[in-house]
């Protein structure tokens, strides 16, 4: 069966420090991968998605970047964190080869980032 | 552009009461998919249901039921005889057949609090 791992679970970082959140998927190949952010008390905003190694699409301009160095690895990074980067970050995966739009996203447990 | 609106930000009920969560969506596509996810206090999103735009049949799964009304662009979710374990944030989401990478657009979520 497929599993998705996301770490660290909790992170407290000072403003201006770098960030690296990692997500890996097991039990599947060629998945679509996603990073979503959930600000406190708000809905989910898609940050990045990837349909293959090295292929990253950004949904909103921001202080963050994403990379996909391996098929089942997705990394969210920042060189210098801002206060506004605080939030709950969720990684997700879906099958790539099925009816477009129909794919169910499976989410990781999330990483809670607090920038002070 | 796609949009999902969950007008109710928070609903509080007493155990065994029924609760209905509203979801209204906007899309220009004729083929699209609607989803509901549950986010318990642990934070991980759990998939509940997927419905395609050609299937307006209502669905029941245990105490959960969904009412899809294409004419009013609504996909409402009812929990019958609510239990404390139903306390969570519930998200409605939309994707369409042209969504590259099978991206989901989420509503702002409805927090359900079930009191014993």
Residue-level pLDDT, tens digit, chain A, 116 residues:
889 999 999 999 999 999 999 999 999 989 999 999 998 777 899 999 998 999 998 887 678 999 999 999 999 999 999 999 999 999 999 987 666 667 889 999 999 999 99
Per-residue pLDDT averaged across B106-115, rounded? 96
Q: Using a CB cutoff of 8 Å and minimum separation of 24, what contacts does A78-84 make?
A: A78/A18, A78/A19, A79/A18, A80/A15, A80/A16, A80/A17, A80/A18, A81/A13, A81/A14, A81/A15, A81/A16, A81/A17, A81/A18, A81/A19, A81/A113, A81/A115, A82/A15, A82/A115, A83/A15, A83/A115, A83/A116, A84/A115
For B23-44, the pLDDT digits (tens) are 999 999 888 999 999 999 988 9
Residue B98 has a pLDDT of: 67
Return the closest-CA partner of residue B89 out of A27, A107, A11, A84: A107
Give me the mean pLDDT over the B3-7 stretch.
Answer: 95
Residues of A with CB under 8 A from a CB of B: 32, 34, 36, 42-46, 49-51, 57, 59, 88, 90, 92, 94, 96, 99-110, 112
* pLDDT (0 to 100) of residue A95: 86
pLDDT at A9: 96
Least CB-CB distance to B33: which of A96, A102, A110? Answer: A102
Which of B45, B97, B102 minimises the CB distance to A90?
B45
pLDDT, average across residues B72-79: 96
Which residue among B43, B50, B96 places its CB closest to the CB of A110? Answer: B43
Dihedral sign for Cα atoms in the order A3, B104, A88, B90: negative
- Residue B60 is predicted with a pLDDT of 87
Residue-level pLDDT at A100: 64
**Chain A contact present for B35, CB below 8 A:** yes
Q: Which two tokens stand for residue B86?
A: 């139903």
Contacts of A59 in chain B (CB under 8 A): 103
- The reported pLDDT for the residue numbered A103 is 80
Residue B100 has pLDDT above 80, yes or no: no
């Amino acid at each position: 069966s497929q599993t998705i791992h996301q770490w660290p679970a909790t992170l407290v970082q000072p403003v201006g420090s770098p960030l690296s959140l990692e997500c890996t998927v097991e039990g599947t190949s060629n998945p679509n991968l996603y990073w979503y952010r959930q600000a406190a008390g708000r809905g989910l905003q898609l940050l990045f998605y990837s349909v293959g190694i090295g292929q990253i699409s950004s949904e909103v301009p921001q202080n963050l970047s994403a990379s996909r160095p391996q098929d089942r690895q997705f990394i969210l990074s920042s060189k210098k964190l801002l206060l506004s980067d605080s939030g709950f970050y969720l990684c997700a995966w879906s099958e790539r080869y099925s009816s477009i739009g129909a794919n169910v996203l499976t989410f990781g447990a999330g990483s809670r980032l607090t920038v002070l | 552009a796609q949009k999902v609106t969950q007008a109710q930000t928070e609903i509080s009920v007493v155990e065994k009461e029924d609760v209905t969560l509203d979801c209204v969506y906007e899309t220009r596509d004729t083929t699209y998919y609607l989803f509901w996810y549950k986010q318990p206090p642990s934070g991980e999103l759990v998939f509940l249901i997927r419905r395609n735009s050609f299937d307006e049949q209502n669905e029941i799964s245990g105490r959960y039921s969904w009412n899809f009304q294409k004419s009013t662009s609504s996909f409402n979710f009812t929990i019958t005889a609510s239990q404390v374990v139903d306390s969570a944030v519930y998200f409605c989401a939309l994707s369409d057949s042209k969504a590259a990478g099978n991206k989901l657009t989420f509503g702002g979520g409805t927090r359900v609090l079930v009191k014993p």
